[in-house]
Amino acid sequence: MPVNYATPAPDQLHAVAGVRLGVAEAGIRKANRHDLTLIELAPGSTVAGVFTKNRFCAAPVQVCRAHLAKGDIRALVINTGIANAGTGEEGLAAANATCATVAMRMDVRAEQVLPFSTGVIMEPLPVERIKAGLPAARTALKADGWYDAAHAIMTTDTVAKAASRRVSIGGKTVTVTGISKGAGMIKPNMATMLGFVATDAFVAQPMLERLVKEAADESFNCVTVDGDTSTNDSFVFMATGQGEARFDAVGAPGWDEFKAAVVAVAQELAQAIVRDGEGATKFIEIAVEGARSHDEAKAVGYAIGHSPLVKTAFFASDPNLGRILGAIGNAGIADLDVAKVKLWLGDVLVSENGGRAASYNEADGARVMKPAEIVVRVDLGRGGHAGKVWTCDFSYDYVKINADYRS
């Protein structure tokens, strides 16, 4: 059960002019489920992406990087079941063969296709099954295919994740719609996380590349479930230019409003991943302020958000302040003055001067730990920078899901 998240209804996911999506059952690893998704982009679309920093990055990620460098992307193909990671040269050949097949079916060149895979690592990708499933996915292509695609890219997700905004900027309507997947192996620098967001605005390539990085930093790069960065993480932003708005250069009128809409969609998609974190029963925002730098704030946020001791305490609704302070102390700030650190749970000041706040009592602590959404606020008292991390708790079900995953 995700924490305060439900998939939007199909009619809440606005179609994006120039984007069509189709899904099919290819039987890649399990029968009777949609496991193959095709996304078609109108000619002239611009596309940019950010990817995992894991050195064992998957074959499709390597192919995506190479194809994006050439530009003029016209199709995306996404399979679940098999991640095509840790598969060496054969994996690269399989990813390229997938692109070639899509290219043939869609009448484009192979380097105009971006491949994505998610699922079990180190198993060979069954390219023949993908080939066999592609005609059905192509036949299913439709502008309002976002809802079906959100479901078809799921792995251990318990709900499909999608978000959509339609805003008016300078009198012109702009649509931003996206889907994501991921529920475990989620961490900074992306996750076993796939995110696809499209807009009908025209966005010049250099601006799009900046936007995708900035949006990722404020969304997907703020989430962690278990501290593991996957081999396949990808976030792709597509701009078809089929709508009314155009953003040709830095400083284009309405850019800030546009960016805000993109970030809102990306944050909703990223938070949905944490809300649906494997075994999650709580959604936790860790807001760190008073840091010397943004990186320092994030380091403290992650030190708290990655601590199994903190996460099990949240699961138990236990205001175990010491574990949070211990995590802050482990964040690697060698000259941290603990006497200046302040810690709040929700609206309750729980720690200051290196110990428990004088005003704190356990009843308040128990009260603020109870809700399904909790804000942890830390003031490091050493600078003007801030950073946020979103995470979930650590429950029996996390172990169950990950111990049983392949069986």
In terms of C-beta distances under 8 Å and separation of at least 24 residues, what long-range contacts does 336-343 make, across chains too?
336/380, 336/382, 337/381, 337/382, 340/380, 340/381, 340/382, 341/378, 341/379, 341/380, 341/381, 342/378, 342/379, 342/381, 343/376, 343/377, 343/378, 343/379
Is 383 a residue that touches a second copy (CB under 8 A)?
Answer: no
Is 233 a residue that touches a second copy (CB under 8 A)?
Answer: no
Strand ranges in 158-314 using DSSP code E only, listed in sequence order: 161-169, 172-181, 194-199, 202-203, 223-224, 234-239, 246-247, 283-291
CB 323 to a second copy: min, Å: 7
Alpha-helix runs per DSSP H in 7-87: 59-70
Q: Which residue in this structure is represented by tokens 């991943």? A: 273
Residues linked to residue 392 through DSSP beta bridges, in sequence order: 283
CB 182 to a second copy: min, Å: 13
Give the number of other Cβ atoms within 10 Å of residue 365's Cβ: 20
DSSP designation for 142: B
Is 399 a residue that touches a second copy (CB under 8 A)?
Answer: yes
3 state SS of 164: strand
Is 295 a residue that touches a second copy (CB under 8 A)?
Answer: no
CB 258 to a second copy: min, Å: 34
Give the number of other Cβ atoms within 10 Å of residue 164's Cβ: 21
Of 223 and 265, nearer to a second copy (C-beta) is 223
DSSP designation for 405: T
Q: Which amino acid is at 51?
A: F
Is 406 a residue that touches a second copy (CB under 8 A)?
Answer: yes
Of 27 and 326, nearer to a second copy (C-beta) is 326
Active site residue 192: yes
Give the number of other Cβ atoms within 10 Å of residue 163's Cβ: 26
CB 34 to a second copy: min, Å: 23
CB 351 to a second copy: min, Å: 7
Is 371 a residue that touches a second copy (CB under 8 A)?
Answer: no
Question: Which residue of the set 52, 175, 192, 240 is catalytic?
Answer: 192
Is 321 a residue that touches a second copy (CB under 8 A)?
Answer: yes
Q: Residues 49-68 vs a second copy: string with x where CB under 8 A?
A: -----xxxx-----------
Backbone phi, then psi, for 168, in 5-degree steps?
A: -105, 120
3 state SS of 304: helix
CB 147 to a second copy: min, Å: 30
Q: Is the dihedral of CA 168, 174, 175, 176 positive or negative?
A: negative
Q: CB under 8 A: which stretch of 12-20, 63-71, 78-86, 133-141 binds a second copy?
A: 78-86
Q: CB under 8 A: which stretch of 140-148, 155-163, 258-266, 347-355 binds a second copy?
A: 347-355
- Binding a second copy (rule: CB under 8 A), the pick from 66, 97, 122, 167 is 122
In terms of Cα–Cα distance, which of 166, 163, 182 is closest to 174?
166
Cβ-contact 236, 114 below 8 angstroms: yes
- Binding a second copy (rule: CB under 8 A), the pick from 228, 252, 371, 383 is 228
Is 338 a residue that touches a second copy (CB under 8 A)?
Answer: yes
385-392 and 223-224 as β-strands: parallel, antiparallel, unpaired?
parallel
Q: CB under 8 A: which stretch of 70-78, 236-244, 253-261, 315-323 binds a second copy?
A: 315-323
- Binding a second copy (rule: CB under 8 A), the pick from 27, 322, 381, 383 is 322
Is 312 a residue that touches a second copy (CB under 8 A)?
Answer: yes
Name the residues that contact a second copy, by CB under 8 A: 54-57, 83, 85-91, 120-122, 184-185, 226-231, 306-309, 312-313, 315-316, 318, 320-323, 325-331, 333-334, 336, 338-339, 351, 353-356, 394-396, 398-400, 402-407
Please give the positions annotated as active site. 192
